[in-house]
Chain A
């Protein structure tokens, strides 16, 4: 064996350990955590790689918005520095990253973290330390029901003590499921409902609320098929086949994007195979209703016309001339990030989500006083009033983002929408002739 190899080996070993140690070095901070005279440091954990990395664009959009705000002087003269860390959707990694944010990077607040299990893994730690864990990018009920304070709080199996430092943002999944149940009962004469849901707390959240909202009509549910997040698309497809076999004429999908695409493609397949006998009313949860997923489904030969879903943010593809969408395009272009720009052009709604969420944070920060503290930030977040003249420009027209001592979910409204305009000439790569979401009805209340 040559000497060079040995040298290389020794060097590698030393370098590897050296990198590992050096990389964990963090910046020191002075004064109140994360707040200096001219900057505020916040942070969040996102799945930038690994199974859920589709949502990475949310983090990119949030950083883009803070960049825009900074370019216009920041908030009270402070520029916002947003540290985004990758937790690969693995709760134990989330804990390491959150500890890094709090103890090493000394962030002012943990903002916008994505995922339910990651959030659950860290909410005890953050609440014990009094660090705001806010604007979580997930709609599970935990973030509203457990975060009420004082007499408004009722203990639940998953939270015996209140978590006053935690707060969600988007309309919660149970509220959404409730509206779908109402929609079916109103619009389908004799519904035979088949439900495809993800077999974890996320999917269960939807399912339980849906069944509850059906009330005396729970007998209309002919089949409910659970699938695992890690199942291959063929297995998901088999579940959809089972729904059809049970005679469903309405299919409700409470899934994540990959499974939803498989489900939509399968529905089209069965429709073709049965010569149109199976042609269900299809409802899709809004997490899976991002335009890019519907386009991808069309690439998989799905016919998604007339699929129904809901939204709570504006769409850059449906209303490109809206002043907020023009602003959004400007903000994304200003980042110089080609990937983000491409996704924006493709109609990735997650970008608008990110901008909207970041707008709320900045709004709260503006109301947190000349020198914000963690308590004053929470107070501002619990008294949001993005209504009327102070409306969040990125949420759907007419929707409020509002909190109070009795209202712990900032957003409690949804707008129904239906996909129209897909033709046989659809080219998924150019997105021409593939249709888009069209408004269906008026803004509805999804709160309890």
Chain B
């Protein structure tokens, strides 16, 4: 795994942990005058997830996968058997 991909996966893990916002559980506070704070936090999680995946595409994209896919197949796709 490339170091960029490791960093991005670390951020995915961080966002996942932050998703469990126990501190907002019983709060009736609102943000922006109308949004329950728990909902606003989770909306932020969605934004953060998009940002992290954008970063992943930039620094962790597995470019070599296209070359792997272009190699000749040794299988018959209909039967799954090895070609002779």
| Chain A partners chain B | no
Q: Which residues of B contact A (CB under 8 A)?
A: none
Q: Which residues of A contact B (CB under 8 A)?
A: none
